[in-house]
């Protein structure tokens, strides 16, 4: 995995990235941050569940689950929230970090029965795909 090779990540995260990198749009530095956050919460015995909002194919949820499994603790709930229909229509306040008009991108990606922007087709969604890899 070339992107992980660019960054100094711990061996545990490197092994996890081999399993999740095709299931997420998130880059390695942010996945590293998520791994550290989950590790901290678990090592500090902080109560609560883990949540991913905007799941796509479930890569970040997989990372959370695999990090917990690596620590021998599978007791936490992990909740995944998504429309499973692509992006919802943006409001005028929704702008890309680069200033690009989100509504224009959304309109360009609109199809008859769904929106292609960040859409994971049936058969690739986390409930059908990623969980089978854990």
Q: Which residue has the tokens 């992980």?
A: 4
Residue 79 pairs with which residues in a beta bridge?
51
Which is catalytic among the residues 32, 43, 77, 94? Answer: 32
Active site residue 32: yes
Integer CA distances (angstroms), 39 to 42, 50, 76, 103, 134, in order: 5, 12, 13, 37, 18
Q: Which residues are designated catalytic?
A: 32
């Amino acid at each position: 995995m070339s992107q992980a090779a660019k960054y100094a990540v711990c061996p545990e995260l490197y092994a996890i990235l081999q399993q999740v990198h095709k299931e997420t749009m998130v880059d390695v530095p942010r996945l590293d941050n998520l791994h550290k956050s989950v590790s901290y919460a678990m090592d500090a015995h902080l109560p609560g569940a883990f949540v991913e909002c905007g799941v796509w194919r479930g890569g970040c949820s997989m990372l959370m689950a695999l990090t917990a499994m690596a620590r021998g603790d599978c007791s936490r709930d992990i909740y995944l929230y998504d429309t499973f229909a692509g992006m919802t229509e943006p409001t005028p306040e929704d702008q890309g970090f680069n200033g690009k008009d989100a509504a224009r991108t959304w309109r360009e990606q609109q199809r008859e029965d769904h929106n292609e922007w960040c859409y994971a087709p049936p058969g690739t969604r986390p409930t059908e795909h990623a969980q089978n890899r854990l």
